[in-house]
């Protein structure tokens, strides 16, 4: 019998999406095939400590009254001493023991210090292969301003936006307001580098602008002011192929907003009413083919690897790019796995494919 691949699953982290990463870990740890893989769960506390976490997925359940956390159990993961080895060790109770060599790292950490290239850079320094995009694509995908800039340069229509820095807002608020007030209401205010709709506001009156900007600036030093797009919110999942095979896209999913201002954190993760997720979305064959082509083009424009979810608006003038997520939500009910399930690729098989592609391309 072939030896199992050893996979270190990383989750938690220092960002405001810490708890969402824990919920994603619950899905992956619960579905990964233990007959194929030996799993080392590595939890990252909010302070950035790497701990040897539990495989008990019940610890990572999402509850609106008590969001899951990586607890500091005082263990510490010790990364390889050089690129000559892939050995992980753990320090606990004053002793150091080996966890063996890892074949692959599966980082399911959302937000800054996780999917923004920083964690990927650390893994590159240690010479450890990992699932997902590399340093540049992760950094680009995390930053909405630069993502839009690159994707627009690739010839894909993007939602109009203005980028405002915290310094500009503090130093010359009237000038900033004057720029924003040239836009048609309502507008969306978003941190440039955040996810899960954290720090996002819909502004329907310019009197709401200061509070919305301050909320977004709590997450990042730059924020985007985006025009409201009239159209359907359509998402597509992308998977990089094995060497020699093409990157492919899934069927589409649609976010149908029925009773909320937008698809906010509570609707995404706490089952708040007013949102329906429809998969597969009702598109013509020509529309789906165009969406899939645009999704792969956007993925390749930022140099993506492994996986991504690409979000568009379907307007009267066609598809308009909104954003790309290089480490999308990965719970069994998240749109990324749902799109692949609707395309014929089940959750555990999706995990297998991501691991196989990462091993083949980086291992």
Active-site pick, 12, 14, 17, 117: 17
Measured torsion, CA atoms of residues 330, 121, 310, 227, in degrees rounded to the nearest 10: 120
Whether the Cβ atoms of residue 134 and residue 40 lie closer than 8 Å to each other = no
Please indicate whether residue 116 is annotated as part of the active site: no
CA distances from 183 to 165, 178, 203, 206 (A): 17, 9, 11, 10
Rounded to two decimals, what is the model's pTM?
0.89
Active-site pick, 26, 329, 334, 338: 329
The single-letter DSSP state of residue 102 is -
Active-site pick, 143, 220, 323, 353: 323
CATH 3.40.120.10 fits 5-130, yes or no: no
Domain 140-157+230-362: give its CATH code. Answer: 3.30.470.20
Please indicate whether residue 196 is annotated as part of the active site: yes
Q: Domain 161-227 is of which CATH architecture?
A: 2-Layer Sandwich (3.30)
Digitized pLDDT (tens) for each residue of the chain, 363 residues in all:
568 999 999 999 999 889 989 999 999 999 999 999 999 999 999 999 999 999 888 888 776 677 899 999 999 999 999 999 999 999 999 999 999 999 999 999 998 899 999 999 999 999 999 999 999 999 999 999 999 999 999 999 998 899 999 999 999 999 999 989 889 899 999 999 876 567 899 999 999 999 999 999 998 899 999 988 899 999 999 999 999 999 999 999 999 987 645 554 555 554 555 678 899 999 999 999 999 999 999 999 999 999 999 999 999 999 999 999 999 988 888 899 999 999 999 999 999 999 999 999 987
Distance CA 88, CA 245 (A): 32
Please indicate whether residue 329 is annotated as part of the active site: yes
Domain boundaries of the chain, sorted by first residue: 5-130, 140-157+230-362, 161-227
Please indicate whether residue 311 is annotated as part of the active site: yes
Please indicate whether residue 199 is annotated as part of the active site: no
Sheet architecture: strand order including 5-12: 50-52, 37-44, 5-12, 104-107
Please indicate whether residue 121 is annotated as part of the active site: no
Distance CA 250, CA 293 (A): 11
Q: Residue 76, SS3?
A: strand
Please indicate whether residue 269 is annotated as part of the active site: yes
């Amino acid at each position: 019998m072939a030896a199992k691949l050893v996979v270190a699953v990383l989750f938690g982290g220092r960002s405001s999406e810490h708890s969402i990463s824990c919920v994603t870990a619950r899905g992956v740890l619960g579905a990964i095939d233990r007959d194929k893989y030996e799993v080392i769960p590595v939890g990252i506390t909010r302070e950035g400590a790497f701990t040897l976490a539990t495989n008990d997925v019940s610890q990572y359940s999402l509850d609106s009254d008590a969001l899951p956390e990586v607890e500091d159990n005082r263990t510490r993961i010790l990364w390889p001493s050089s690129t000559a080895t892939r050995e992980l060790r753990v320090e606990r109770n004053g002793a150091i023991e080996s966890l063996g060599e890892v074949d692959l790292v599966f980082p399911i950490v959302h937000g800054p210090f996780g999917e923004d290239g920083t964690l990927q850079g650390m893994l590159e320094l240690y010479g450890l292969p990992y699932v997902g995009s590399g340093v540049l694509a992760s950094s680009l995908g995390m930053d909405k301003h630069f993502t839009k800039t690159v994707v627009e340069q690739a010839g894909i229509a993007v939602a109009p936006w203005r980028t405002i820095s915290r310094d500009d807002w503090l130093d010359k608020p009237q000038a900033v307001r004057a720029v924003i007030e040239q836009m048609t209401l309502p507008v969306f205010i978003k941190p440039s580098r955040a996810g899960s709709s954290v720090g996002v506001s819909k502004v329907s009156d310019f009197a709401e602008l200061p509070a919305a900007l301050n909320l977004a600036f709590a997450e990042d030093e730059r924020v985007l002011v985006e025009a409201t797009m009239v159209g359907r919110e359509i998402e597509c999942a992308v998977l990089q192929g094995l060497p020699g095979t093409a990157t492919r896209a899934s069927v589409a999913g649609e976010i149908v907003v029925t009773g909320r201002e937008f698809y906010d954190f509570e609707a995404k993760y706490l089952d708040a009413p007013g949102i329906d997720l429809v998969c597969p979305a009702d598109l013509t064959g020509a529309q789906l083919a165009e969406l899939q082509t645009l999704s792969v083009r956007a993925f390749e424009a930022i140099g993506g690897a492994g996986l991504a979810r690409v979000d568009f608006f379907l307007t009267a003038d066609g598809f308009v790019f909104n954003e790309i997520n290089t480490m999308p939500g990965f719970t069994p009910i998240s749109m990324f796995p749902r799109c692949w399930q609707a395309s014929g690729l089940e959750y555990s098989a999706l995990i297998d494919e991501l691991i196989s592609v990462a091993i083949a391309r980086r291992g």
